[in-house]
Amino acid sequence: MKDKKVEFLANAKSYLEKRIRELQEEISLLENLLRIVDEMLSQKSFVTATKLSIEKKKTGEAETRRPEIEKLGKKIFEINIMSRTGEILAILEAYENAAIIKPLMEFKITTPPFKAFLVNRILEGFRKKDEDRVLKGEITENEVFRYEIISEDDMLKEIRIYNYRSRERLYELRGAVRWTLNRMLEKQLPS
């Protein structure tokens, strides 16, 4: 009787381990497919930086931010950050050396949960994890995650991210920004 229970439990364990591996592989595949779709959408949805540069020259606008953009490195990809209703809330531009999140709607930085969640929990959380990694000797101080919140009259203009180091971190950040901006939008809309 005990042998049958042991055999059953061993078989159950083996099945569960196999199933977990299969599901992890499926999740990995789905995440890769999602990244490909995101990249393809970003290529189809936006004016390229070259076209934008040409348009600015035609209208006579000065390219005052050009040296800044060159420090960011080559643009890797661009992703829309969408609302639940399908509106584009912001654009995440990923460069070799940094990422920039540009809201396309007006968001006040005083609207919750911007500071409590996005800044204090997510951005500061990334920074603190990296500082711990410096103490362990895994990365240098120059590689620590940094961010800048750029605002004008309490209106969010940009979030600049430095030393993000991995696409996974950017995708995690995109999810947190999407959730935050959706919540802020709900609070800013008249009820």
Q: Check whether residue 138 and residue 95 sit in a common domain.
A: yes
Asked if the structure places residue 56 within a domain, the reply is no
pLDDT of residue 47: 41
Q: Check whether residue 15 and residue 92 sit in a common domain.
A: no
Asked if the structure places residue 50 within a domain, the reply is no
* C-alpha torsion angle, residues 79, 132, 110, 172 (rounded to 10): 20
Q: Check whether residue 137 and residue 88 sit in a common domain.
A: yes
Asked if the structure places residue 51 within a domain, the reply is no
Asked if the structure places residue 100 within a domain, the reply is yes
Q: Check whether residue 20 and residue 89 sit in a common domain.
A: no
Could you tell me the pTM of the whole model?
A: 0.60
**Rg of the chain, C-alpha, whole Å:** 22
Q: Check whether residue 35 and residue 6 sit in a common domain.
A: yes
Q: Check whether residue 80 and residue 147 sit in a common domain.
A: yes
Asked if the structure places residue 66 within a domain, the reply is yes
Q: Check whether residue 96 and residue 184 sit in a common domain.
A: yes
Q: Check whether residue 14 and residue 97 sit in a common domain.
A: no
Q: Check whether residue 34 and residue 73 sit in a common domain.
A: no
Asked if the structure places residue 55 within a domain, the reply is no
Contacts of 34 (CB under 8 A, 6+ apart): none
- Domain total in the chain: 2
Q: Check whether residue 105 and residue 151 sit in a common domain.
A: yes
| Beta carbons of 119 and 103 less than 8 angstroms apart | no
Asked if the structure places residue 54 within a domain, the reply is no
Q: Check whether residue 110 and residue 178 sit in a common domain.
A: yes
Range of the structural domain that residue 1 is part of? 1-45
Asked if the structure places residue 52 within a domain, the reply is no
**Pick from 125, 155, 128, 130: nearest CA to 140:** 130
Phi, psi of 10 (to 5 degrees): -65, -45
Q: Check whether residue 114 and residue 179 sit in a common domain.
A: yes
Q: What is the pLDDT along the chain (191 residues), one digit of tens a residue?
A: 678 888 888 888 888 888 888 888 777 777 767 777 666 665 554 444 444 444 444 444 333 444 455 577 788 888 899 888 888 999 999 888 899 999 999 999 998 889 999 999 999 999 999 999 999 999 888 889 999 999 999 899 999 999 888 888 888 998 999 999 999 988 877 65
75-80: long-range contacts, CB 8 A cutoff, minimum separation 24: 75/49, 77/38, 77/39, 77/42, 78/42, 78/46, 79/38, 79/39, 79/41, 79/42, 79/174, 80/41, 80/42, 80/45
